[in-house]
Structure 1
Amino acid sequence: MGTDRERKFFFLYIYSYTSKMVRELEPSVNEVAFLLEALKQGRRVDGREVYDMRSVEITLGADYGYVEVQLGRTRVAANVSAEVVRPHADKPTEGILLFNTEISPMAAATFEPGARSEEEVMISRTIEKALRRSRAIDTEGLCIVAGEKVWQIRVDLLFLDHDGNLIDCASIAAITALLHFRRPDVTVSGEEVTIHPIDQRNPVPLSVHHIPICITFAFFDNGELLVVDPNYLEGQSKEGDMTITMNSHKEICALTKAGGIPLEMDQVLRCSQIAIIKVTEIDEMIKRVLEDDKASRQKNRK
């Protein structure tokens, strides 16, 4: 059966595939019971504390606007692109911000190519609510000629690996990609619009008002127990969940709770206090990664 190297690669592939398939099966009664018992003792099955998030890794691409974010074993890629289009008739002086999500069957076998599942629709709406409706991006700054030409900014989110909590990972990837993106510079002379290539004139960053970040909580035991950043098993076993979108200014941009058990107001306030800490940490990480990338590019130019 081929060389030793080929056999090793084959068995590694089978192991990776089967382990992913195991993760995508519905949790058994014993798994759920073990998870709940661990949570009652203040522990989680992956070794984290109840308020701990998994490690976040942000990788910026060589091209402006491409970012990969890994949250534990959950991985999402974001790519931002821009084109000049005609504005909407009711908003002649505003640019357009679009979000497109695609969950690859490679991320999870439960997702089918070409078919948008309820989970994918919910993720897309949550990200759109967090970034577009919170006015994080200055869309008026995307206007070139009122009523005639504006920039359309498109954010493509590709979900590469699903090990729970796709929303938080996608929100970090989307806002980081928007912060990293640069659009071509434009000169307007009368009715003539000139778009300058990036190699001829420095590209222009988007105007970002604030950095909204999603923090997701999962609830168990009638809402008495909660965890931050649920992994796949916790996400499949939860009795309810809630996503709080917040920025580093302690402003709640959006709150999403799609069904599940009802929550007391004290529990919601408790989650918001936890979210403040997590958002501040992630906000600092994003800014640090962007600063390092900026310094690296300036060094390479010299």
Structure 2
Amino acid sequence: MPQEAQISVNERAFIQDALKEQLRLDGRAFDAFRPLELTFGDEYGVADVQLGKTRVIARISVDVTTPLPERKFDGVFQIITEFSPMASPAFEVGRPTNAEVVLSRILEKAIRRSNALDTESLCIIAGLKCFALRADVHVIDHDGGLIDASCIAVMAALQHFRRPDVLVEGEKATVLSIRERDPIPLSILHQPLCVTFSYFEEGELFLVDSNLAEEQVRDGEVIITMNRHGEVCQIAKYGGAPVEPYALFNLTSLALQKVKEMSKFIQERLDEDAKRRNAGGLLAELSAENDRPFDRPVG
């Protein structure tokens, strides 16, 4: 199986010595994220996140299906991750790596199991028809911080997505097009976001948003998922050196600050996209179509 290019012994020692001197190679503070960019596609539910050199695209799609027998009043929601081979030499189609398994589990617990999405709002006819929502996460470039970037992408895409409206007559449901009726935003109960802390020197030093080189040198990682109200959705730690309870408490406080900043950033980008769509949206398109015949020269 292809493997990630390993960092050299000299590079490892250089990064470790720099951290002991309270320095990061890119000049960031220990608690600082890399530059974050978020853009939305022309269709609803496509979010493109760039965190430093890491790039993740999330796309939300919807279909009508039959609800699960044990959850007749709920819709279906699933998250699918896909690592592109061009993102890293360690990724191969059809052969999930440990990083892909961990990412899938974290996103599942952080978003789906924390009930970030109100699945009851996806029900059309109880026991007969419901919306099946699917979030596809595509990793395009990998330079560390995949979990944080992917969680931002999925939550931003969910808030940006609009599902079609439905006309229900008895047991018959008709999905209406965008021209028949405006699509409807999803019912989001809360917005969980992940903050990954890499620790060094047996838990003495903690870094926020490590790049790939720093991830290869770290002793372990702690992933904290919270919403902006301070509610902890999950704390995950896969192996590595132990972490003191007091240090974990401090990390939770720092994670809340970062989650509030990211939530505000996502909302600002959503507002900008809404203004852009209102300026050149469906009404402007219909108006332009009505004006075209009068623009033609006469004679």
- Alignment match of 1:158 (pick from 115, 138, 157): 138
Aligned to 2:108: 128
**1:53 corresponds to 2:28:** no
**1:27 corresponds to 2:7:** yes
Aligned to 1:223: 203
Corresponding residue SS for 1:116? coil
Deviations 1:9-48 (A, max 9, x none): xxxxxxxxxxxx9x94211222111111111121101211
Give the alignment of 1:274-289 within 5 angstroms.
274-289=254-269
Aligned to 2:157: 177
- Alignment match of 1:240 (pick from 192, 205, 220): 220
Please tell me whether the aligned partners of residues 168 and 216 of structure 1 are also in contact (alpha carbons under 8 angstroms): yes
TM-score by length of 2: 0.92
Which portions of structure 1, spanning 4 or more consecutive aligned residues, are displaced by more than 6 angstroms?
none
Corresponding residue SS for 2:138? strand
Q: Look up the equivalent residue of 1:179 and give its one-letter code.
A: Q
Q: Which runs of 5+ in 2 are unaligned?
A: 285-299
**1:270 corresponds to 2:253:** no
Deviations 1:118-139 (A, max 9, x none): 1101101101111001110000
Aligned to 1:16: none
Q: Look up the equivalent residue of 2:183 and give its one-letter code.
A: P
Please tell me whether the aligned partners of residues 16 and 217 of structure 2 are also in contact (alpha carbons under 8 angstroms): no
Corresponding residue SS for 2:202? coil
Please tell me whether the aligned partners of residues 39 and 50 of structure 1 are also in contact (alpha carbons under 8 angstroms): no
Shift of 1:112: 1.0
Q: In angstroms, what is the RMSD of aligned CA positions?
A: 1.3
Q: Which runs of 5+ in 1 are unaligned?
A: 1-20
- Alignment match of 1:36 (pick from 16, 40, 44): 16
Shift of 1:199: 2.3
Using the alignment, how far apart are the partners of 1:50 and 1:192 within structure 2?
Answer: 57
Please tell me whether the aligned partners of residues 178 and 206 of structure 1 are also in contact (alpha carbons under 8 angstroms): yes
Using the alignment, how far apart are the partners of 1:101 and 1:129 within structure 2?
Answer: 14
Using the alignment, how far apart are the partners of 2:215 and 2:255 within structure 1?
Answer: 18
- The alignment of Structure 1 onto Structure 2 pairs a total of residues equal to 281
TM-score by length of 1: 0.91
Corresponding residue SS for 2:198? strand
Using the alignment, how far apart are the partners of 2:205 and 2:13 within structure 1?
Answer: 14
Please tell me whether the aligned partners of residues 5 and 89 of structure 2 are also in contact (alpha carbons under 8 angstroms): no
Using the alignment, how far apart are the partners of 2:151 and 2:204 within structure 1?
Answer: 27
Shift of 1:259: 1.0
Using the alignment, how far apart are the partners of 2:29 and 2:38 within structure 1?
Answer: 22
Aligned to 1:191: 171
Q: Look up the equivalent residue of 2:253 and give its one-letter code.
A: Q
Deviations 1:239-274 (A, max 9, x none): 100110011101111111111111000111111111
